[in-house]
């Protein structure tokens, strides 16, 4: 069975290899401009759009995911530029936010979806620390302008580490089990 990851993210590729050793990757060109009634609904809908954007044979399994950071009613996706990244990191400094990831798995004509959430607390950072992080880490392709695996900003978290990285493996494993992919 052909498995396709609808993402070029190296983090998602690394995570998926823990469950599925052999898969292809494609870039999913989908409209990600959507805000649902809740963060969970938002990431599920965008994941569905990504999964449905992949053109492939019907017997393929397509896995797509979307992640966002949610803090005080504000959705934080990927920053537009470095100033936006600084705004996001300043907002998150010393606070706890929630990371939501949605996953959509298309198997034939069936589409399975779910979402996960994790709470993340940042250290309190000075402006110079934030500037240094932006200068020394890739922030532009990450929701909330950070990566937990950098090991710099996060003082603690609850929930699944893989969810915070961008692919909730626990729920993905359950979905893949339901469709018979072990």
What is the domain count for the chain? Answer: 1
Whether the per-residue pLDDT at 87 is higher than 90: the answer is yes
**CATH number of the CATH domain containing 77:** 3.90.950.10
Q: pLDDT category, 136, cuts 50, 70, 90?
A: very high
Question: What is the average pLDDT value for the chain, to the nearest integer?
Answer: 95
- What is the model's pLDDT at position 118? 98
- Exposed, middle or buried: residue 103 (CB in 10 Å: 0-12, 13-18, 19+)? buried
Whether the per-residue pLDDT at 164 is higher than 90: the answer is yes
Please indicate whether residue 174 is annotated as part of the active site.
Answer: no
Structural domain that includes position 24: 3-178
| Residues 13-50 pLDDT 10s | 999 999 999 999 999 888 888 999 999 999 999 999 99
Please tell me the distance from the alpha carbon of residue 82 to that of residue 163, in angstroms, as a whole number.
24
- Active-site annotation holder among 66, 119, 129, 150: 66
Identify the pLDDT of residue 58: 85
């Amino acid at each position: 069975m052909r498995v396709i990851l609808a993402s070029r993210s190296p983090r998602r590729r690394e995570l998926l290899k823990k469950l599925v050793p052999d898969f292809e990757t494609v870039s999913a060109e989908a409209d990600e401009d959507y805000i649902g009634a809740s963060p969970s609904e938002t990431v599920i809908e965008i994941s569905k759009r990504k999964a449905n954007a992949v053109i492939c044979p019907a017997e393929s399994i397509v896995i797509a995911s979307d992640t966002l950071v949610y803090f005080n009613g504000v959705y934080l996706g990927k920053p537009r530029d470095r100033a936006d990244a600084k705004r996001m990191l300043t907002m998150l400094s010393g606070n706890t936010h929630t990371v939501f990831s949605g996953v959509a798995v298309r198997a034939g004509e069936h589409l399975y979806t779910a979402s996960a959430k994790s709470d993340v607390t940042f250290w309190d950072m000075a402006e110079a620390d934030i500037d240094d992080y932006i200068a020394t880490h890739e922030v532009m392709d990450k929701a909330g302008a950070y990566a937990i695996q950098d090991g710099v900003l996060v003082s603690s978290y609850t929930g699944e580490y893989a969810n915070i990285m961008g692919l909730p493996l626990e729920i993905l494993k359950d979905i893949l089990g339901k469709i018979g992919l072990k």
